[in-house]
Each structure stands twice: as C-alpha cells, then as structure tokens.
Structure 1
Amino acid sequence: MASSVMVMGTASNVGKSILCTALCRILHEDGYSVAPFKAQNMSLNSAATPSGREIGRAQAVQAEACGILPNEHMNPVLLKPTGRHQTQVVVQGRVYKTTSARDYLENRLDDVWEAVVDSYRFLADRYEWIVIEGAGSPVEMNLKPRDIANVRTAELADAHVLLVADIDRGGVFASIVGTLQLLEPSERARVKGIIINKFRGDRSLFTDGIRWIESYTGVPVLGVLPFLPDLNIEAEDSVALEEARYRLPAADGAVRVAVIQLPHMANFTDFDPLFLTPGVTVRFVQTPAELEDVHAIILPGSKDTLMDGLWLQETGLSAALAERRAAGCHIVGICGGFQLLGQRILDPDHWEGPIDEVAGLGWLPVVTTMTGSKRTMPVTGRVLGPLGPMPVEGYEIHMGRTERLAGGSPFAQVQSPDGDGAWFDGAVSDDGRVMGTYLHGIFHNDQFRRRWLTAICHQFGLQVPAAPDTSFSEMKSAALRRLSSAVRAHLDMPRLYGILGYAPKRGTPAETGGPALS
C-alpha cells in the first residue's frame, strides 16, 4: 500500500495544484513511482484520459509530472457547474447525474464516496507514493461535515498533510492560525509542515515571521516559495484568467488574437500555446470594443452553449463578430464554440436548461441537437481543407450531436486511438476563414498552429512569427523541470523527507537543491 502526502490550503487559489505538481515531479525524479489524486474537483477545465474518461485538468498535468498516463481514478469525482444552481457530476470519468448543489450534498455524497475509496485503493495498490490535492479550505465550517475532499480523504489515506498559504493576498498569519484552530485535534495532528507561497521581495525580511508561526503553532515552516510568474503550466481554475498574462497589451506588428470569454467557458487552457508563440498577442474579451483591432477570434468551449449563445446576442458581440468577419478576421470555434458558429443549437429535451433553441452565428453549415450522452475520447487524424493535409491529435469532451448540412467541408478526419472507425470532424466555411472543430488541444499541434498563424499574416500583411526552437511538448517538459528545481531550492528537502520517513532513491538535485526561477 502506498504512502501519501496531502497538500491542503488555507483557501482556494493558494497554489495547491502547482505545489502538488512540483511534489509529483520531485518524487518521480527521486526514483519513486508516484500518482496524483484529488477526491473531488470542481472545474470546467477538464481532460480526457486515454481510456476515454474525463478528469480535472490539474490531475492530468500532475500525471504528466509523474511520468505516467492519466486515468479516471486520479480524480474520481468531478463537478462541472452548468449554471442555474445545477452541477454535472462526473464519477470515475463518466457522467453520473446533473443535480442541484443541495441535492448533491444532502443525497449523493454517500454514493460518490464509495467511488473515492475505490479509486484511492486502485492507485495505492499500484504506486509507492500518492500526492493528494485538497480542495478549497478544509475548514469551511458550514460544509465541513459533508466535505469529502479534505479531512475525510486524509483519513482514508492516512496522509501526511502540508498546509499551504498564499502570502501575496495578505493575512497569511490569520489564515494559517485560523485553519489550524478550526481543525479537530486529531486532524491538526496530521499537519506536518507549513509552506508559505507566492512570496515577493527579500525573503530574509520574513525570518521573524517564520519564527513566530513555528512558535505559535508548533508546526515547522518547510519553505517560503517565491512568486513564480510565467510558469507555463496549465492552470485549473478560471481565476487564472485574471492574471496579467491573459490581459497582455498588443505589441506593434503582432498577430492579435481575441478569445471570447463566455460566461460558461470551459477548457480555457486550449489556447496556452498561443501565449508562448513569439509575435502573437492573446487576450480574453467580453465586450464588442475589445474586438476592434484583432486579426483572429476564437470561440471556446462552453458548459451551457445555449445560454452563451443568448449572451453573445445580448451583449452585441454577435454583431461585432460579424463586423470582424467582414473585415477578414479568421475565426475558430472549439467544441461549444463550434456549435455556436453553426445555424442553430437545439435542446428539445432540455439537457442544458429551459431554452429550446438558439440561433447560431450562421457561418458554418451545421445544426447541433443536445443529447444526454457525452462523448469523451482522445483522437488522432488529419486536418483537411485549406490548412491541410497535416496530422493532428486532440481530445473530445462534448454533449450534442452535430449534423452537417449542404455546403462547406469537414475540418478533419479523425479516429479513436484503438482505430475503431473514422469520422469527419467539424466544418470549414467556403472561404476557409471560419473553422469549427470538436478537438480540444488543437493549438497544441505545432504544425497546425503555425499554418493557421501564417494564413492570418498573409491575410493582413503581417510578418509571419518565427517558429520557436522547441515544440510545445518540449516547452511543457522544460516548465516541469523548472518548477521542480524552483521548489527544491526553496523547500527544506532533507527536513521534508525526514518528516515523510523516506529519502531519495537515487542521487538527484534533492540532495543539493536546485536553481530558482529567474
């Protein structure tokens, strides 16, 4: 049975996911077989496993840090809010039920807890270490009796707990002391170390603060992690959209790309590769005025496509999009965004909500009807149309059946990894400037991304951005190495291993620390 270490936070967005990713990578580098685990996750940023199951994006990234493929047991319960106080509950990668928050908390927890126990034991029987991520705060007292993601999971796994606090938001002393005080004595005894995250400035100025925390709480401070900008590791929470890198000003001569920030936007990390491409400026937009100078527009996925279609009309964005289309803009819709580019979206059985039908933007010859089943799978294939032919890979996570009408052409021909049949995906307008696809991760394909940007540059007389020296996949690997080096450099690794009762299996940077991020 595996040993386990769990990262709990004093609040949401204090850095639990990133710290878990770093610990996964460090244990992997130090010679252990390790897997991530998060009992219950609430996120619209999900990933498809090779077996065609759906889990939170953070656990897929953490699996990559462990050097293993993701599976549904790493995140047995995924909650996907759909609006109107409803949540789609995904259990071990499959849709279990769409229900209200109250019904879920009062009537469904016992059912899903059985899946949590089953999934944890599945991983614990196969790996030496499990790195567990908590959710939010473990001491939301109105929810604590029904919270399955924090204390209850720590007890299931008999986990060593590390408590992480975000000093950048202020109130770090109160958040640490308050969290520990609200834990029961047996729960508090599991907390073996405190980690201060997102520190800016001269760390020596916080020495007295460390002494005070250790003296007052009796829990050692294992490290003070600096604020690490531009990690280039996929974020889980949409709060990341407020970070500066998502609101960059346009540089002179750059390809200006706008992503429509739909109210129910899902899988916003689809566009991360564009942020790392030289000569490209990307910003998320919510008003017509923000579209005035862009060369390309992306409509992302949505967890409530019909409601987001109405929002486009009510905000005037539909008209603004039409103006940019007439001006020559290239437009790409992914998943729900693809559906919005079509003629109509129908929901006669009200799978998404009370709306029967919404008109699409009308630029692709397709009609989508919402269904109760969800298609979740990784796919491979080749892009067709004006940018093809070229190989492509990605993954599908969507509800709805899309019918192609007369006109236009398919975007790609794809198949599942087992080669069980092939089908046409998406659609492309006759002029080639509007494309829709169900493939999440399309911009992670280096060749597609570069051909698409080249076509935009030719359209507007811009200089084609230089191709980076490395692929996006290599950039991700480098980012994980940088993260583990930075965390090693600022955590007391010998002390941490002493608390855990282990040591690195092989000579690694853990013995000497590593360079910090610049």
Structure 2
Amino acid sequence: MARYIMLQGTSSHVGKSVLATALCRIFYRRGQRVVPFKAQNMALNSYVTKEGLEMGRAQVAQAEAAGLEPSVEMNPVLLKPTGNSCSQVIIDGRPLGNMSARDYHTGYALKAFDAVKAALAKLEENYDTIVIEGAGSPAEVNLHDHDIVNMRVAKYAQAPVLLVADVDRGGSLAALVGTLELLEPDERDLVRGLIVNRFRGDISLFDPAVAFLEQKTGKPVLGVIPYIEDLGIDEEDSVSLEDKQSLPAAGDLQIAVIRLPKISNFTDFDSLAEEKDVSLYYVSDAGSLGQPDLIILPGSKNTTGDLQWLRQSGVAAAIKERYRNGTPLIGICGGYQMLGTAIYDPLHTETDCDAIEGLGLLPVETTFAAAKATYQVTAQWQALPFLEATLTGPSLKGYEIHMGQTTVADRELSQLTVTSRSGRPCALKAGTARKDGQAFGTYVHGLFDNDQFRRDLLNALRQHKGLPPLGADLRYDDEKERHYDRLARIVAAHLDLDKLDAIMREAHP
C-alpha cells in the first residue's frame, strides 16, 4: 500500500502547490516512486497530456519534479471558470460541459468524487508515495458538505495532513489556530503537523511563535520555510499573478503581457522571463502599458468577454497606438482570435452575442465550435516574417487547447503548420503572420519554450533596436530542473524530514 502525505492550507495561495512540488522532488531524489495528486483544481492554467487530456498545471510541475510524465490521474477533476459564477467541468481530462457554481457544488461534486477514487486507485497500483494537495481551506464551512478535495480525500485515503499557513500575508498564527478550531474532531485528528511558509528574515526570531503554536494546538510545527525569491516553478492559477512584475524593469528588451480578466496559460511566458536580456511584465490598465518592445495577447477562457474588456478599459486603444508606432504584437490562442477581424459564436458557447468585432490586426476570422481541441503537437513555421527578420521553426513542440476554428482570408500569408497531433501525422494550420512582420498569432501554447525559436525571436527584437544578437544559452528544461533541485534543497533544510517520515509510517505502516 502506498504511503500518503497531504498538504492543506489555511487559505488559497499559501504555498501548498510549491511545497508539494518540493516534497515530490525530495522523495524522488531519495529513489522513491512518488506521484502528485490533487482531486480537484479550479484554475485557468491547464496542460494537455500526450493522450490529449486536460489537467491542471500545478500537477504538471509536481510530476516533473517527481521525474514523471504528467497524467490525468494526478488531477481527475478540473474546473475552468468562464464567468458569471460558471465553470467548464472537466472530468478525467475531457470537458463535461459548463455548470453554475450552485449546480456543481449541490448537484454534481459528489458524483465527481467517483473519478477521484478511481484515480487514486490507479496511482496506488504503481507508486509507493503519494503527495496530495488540497485546495483553498478545509474550514470553508459553506463548502464542507460537498467538498471533494480537502478532508473528504484525507478521510478516504486516511492520509495524514500538514496544515500550511503563509506568514508573509500576516495572521498566520490565528489562521492555523482558527482553522483547526473549525474542523470536526475526526478531521482535526488527521492534521499531524503544521508548516509556516514564506518567512522573511531571521527564522530564529519565530521560535516563540513555534512554541505557542505547539502548546495551543497540540500539533508539532514541522518547519518554518523561508521566503524563496525567483522560484521558477509553474503556478496554478491567476492569483499568483499578483506576485509577478506589473511594471517594466531594467533590461535590453521589455515585453508586456496583457493581463486579461480571464487570462489562461500564462505559463506560456515563463521561459521569456528567464532570459537575461528580458524584462517581462503584466499589464492590466492602459496607463501601465508603457513603451514595450513587444506586446503579447495571451490565452483566455472567455475570449469575447475579455475582448469587450480590452475596449472598455482603453487597453485596446493603447495597444493599437503602440502598434501604429511600430511595436509588434503576438497573440496566443484567445489572443490570436482577438487579433482577427471577427469572432462568431453561433452556439453561444461564451455569450449571447452571435458575433463580435475583433481588433482587426490579422486577416482571420474565428468561429466557436462545440468540440474542444486538446492535443500535444509538433509544428513548423518555415518562413515567419517578424520585424526585419525571417524566423524558422522546423520542429516546434507545444499543445493546443481551444474551441474555435480560425480561417485566413489571404492564403499567401505565412502560416504555422501543425505536423502532428497526439503523435498522429497531420498538416493543419494553427497560426498566421502579417506580411509586414508586425503581428502574428497561433493556437500553439508553449511556443516560447522552444529554446532556439525563443532566442531567434528575441534577437529579432534586439536587431530592431540596434542591439547585437545573443547566443541561445538558456536551456529552459534544464533551468526548470535546477529550480526544482534548489527548491527541494531549501525546503529540506528547514523541514523536519525525520518527523515527516515518522508521521507517514505511522499512518500507513
């Protein structure tokens, strides 16, 4: 039987995902067959497996830290908010449909728990250690009866729980004590230890607080984890964007990503942020756009709604002004659709509108369809005009997640060709570029994770500014491995691993 450990938090965004990633790496480096698990994610940051199934991004990072290929058993239930208290419900990697929050929590959530139990059973067959991540807080009493991600999972698996609080946000002692007080007695018994996360400064100064917590709660404090700068770990949802740069900083190249209200898959740009000559920042209002060297329109879970927001907020006008002054644009997925002339929604998949006018910067039109395209892909761009350069990408890797079909008015335009989907050869168009090299868009996520293509694009920006080119020194996959190892070293140095092992052995001898 596999041994379990579960991380639950006093609230969202206390660092559960990152600590679960650290534990996966620690156990993996020990030689254990470790696997991550989260019963239910609510996030717009998703990923497509080799089988073409969709799952939350946080478990992808945890799988990588554990030396594994991501699979949907690691995250059997995914909720993708679409707006108006509604989410797309994805079970075992496939979309079931849209549900209101009320309909899901009161009518379907407990049915979805069958998928959770089945996924855990599969993982137990193949792994000796399972690191489980909870969501939000187990003390949200309004959600308690329909919870399928916190204490219901812990009880089902008889998993010992570590309760995590974020001291950097303030109120961590009250959060830990209060959360325990709100739990049912049998749930409180499952909490076997406490972790205080993101401590800045001299950790020894926190010793009196540790003594207080242990005396007050009767639970051991397994560790006080320092605040870790430059994590380099994929984040789960848009809450983490609050921690990302919102204004341009010093750097040869300044790249602005538009922070749409329903922004999705913003991890597309993490590799750009890792480049030493790039200052990448997120823009949520027209006044913060500045004068970037490149503007990126990211993916969206509600393309038409975010397109309306662009216009109403004045961000669309600011983008067009920069475009007229020579700033290039790139659109990814929903951003690609927005750059076109029109978006049609005959099935009303997003809104009651039949059609909405696009930004008109690419000669393409998009029609939303009922079927969702989810594939890992390989693609090639034989001659991509970008500013004064012509870029090539003979073997680009990425993935598609979209419900729209885009047609191109001018077939002579440079187009990105998808050469395989989920391992099957094909020849499909999934991107378009202007002839003048000032804008292009694509459905392929992860495009910038391709090292040579990313550096060629950045060097085209450097050439446009009169700067010399740089070599493709950054190997993004290798950089992520270094980040996982660094995270594991720091957490291991501040966590009582012997006590953790004892807790896991006691729960599952």
Q: Tell me the TM-score normalised to structure 1 length.
A: 0.94
Q: Which residue is equivalent to 1:328?
A: 326
| Residue 131 in structure 1 maps to residue 131 in structure 2 | yes
Question: Hey, what's the Cα distance between the residues in 1 that align with 2:325 and 2:491?
Answer: 48
Shift of 1:269: 1.1
Contact persistence 2:248–2:254 (CA under 8 A): no
Q: Which residue is equivalent to 2:340?
A: 342
Q: Which residue is equivalent to 2:386?
A: none
Q: Which runs of 5+ in 1 are unaligned?
A: 503-518
Shift of 1:388: 1.0
Shift of 1:389: 4.1
Q: Which residue is equivalent to 2:491?
A: 487
Shift of 1:383: 2.0
Q: Which residue is equivalent to 2:22?
A: 22
Q: Which residue is equivalent to 2:289?
A: 291
Q: Which runs of 5+ in 2 are unaligned?
A: 384-389
Contact persistence 2:451–2:474 (CA under 8 A): no
Q: Which residue is equivalent to 2:377?
A: 379
Shift of 1:421: 2.2
Once the two structures are superposed, residues 235-293 of structure 1 have per-residue CA deviations (whole angstroms, 9 ceiling, x without a partner) of: 112122121x42353316x2111111111110111111111111111111122333341
The CA RMSD over aligned residues, in Å, is: 1.4
| 2:424 aligned counterpart, secondary structure | coil
Q: Which residue is equivalent to 1:92?
A: 92
Alignment map for 1:64-463 (pairs within 5 Å): 64-243=64-243, 245-251=244-250, 254-385=252-383, 386-407=390-411, 408-463=413-468
- Equivalent AA in structure 2 for residue 166 of structure 1: D
| 1:14 aligned counterpart, secondary structure | coil
Q: Bigger shift: 312-321 or 370-379?
A: 312-321
Q: Bigger shift: 473-482 or 381-390?
A: 381-390
- Equivalent AA in structure 1 for residue 54 of structure 2: E
Shift of 1:91: 0.6
| 1:497 aligned counterpart, secondary structure | helix
- Equivalent AA in structure 2 for residue 450 of structure 1: R
- Equivalent AA in structure 1 for residue 26 of structure 2: I
Structure 1 runs of 4+ off > 4 angstroms? none
Shift of 1:42: 0.4
Contact persistence 1:37–1:74 (CA under 8 A): yes
Calculate percent identity across the aligned residue pairs: 47
Contact persistence 1:287–1:315 (CA under 8 A): yes
Question: Hey, what's the Cα distance between the residues in 1 that align with 2:238 and 2:321?
Answer: 28
Shift of 1:468: 6.0
Query: In structure 2, do the counterparts of structure 1 residues 373 and 105 end up closer, same or farther at CA, with 3 Å as the change threshold?
Result: same
Shift of 1:453: 1.1
Q: Tell me the TM-score normalised to structure 2 length.
A: 0.95
Q: Bigger shift: 161-170 or 380-389?
A: 380-389
Contact persistence 1:7–1:16 (CA under 8 A): yes
Shift of 1:142: 1.1
Question: Hey, what's the Cα distance between the residues in 2 that align with 1:14 and 1:65?
Answer: 20
Shift of 1:415: 1.2
Shift of 1:81: 0.5
Once the two structures are superposed, residues 47-68 of structure 1 have per-residue CA deviations (whole angstroms, 9 ceiling, x without a partner) of: 1111111100000111111111
Q: Bigger shift: 154-163 or 410-419?
A: 410-419
Shift of 1:463: 4.2
Question: Hey, what's the Cα distance between the residues in 1 that align with 2:290 and 2:163?
Answer: 46
| 1:215 aligned counterpart, secondary structure | helix
Contact persistence 2:45–2:267 (CA under 8 A): yes
Contact persistence 2:377–2:418 (CA under 8 A): no
Contact persistence 1:277–1:468 (CA under 8 A): no
Q: Bigger shift: 486-495 or 352-361?
A: 352-361
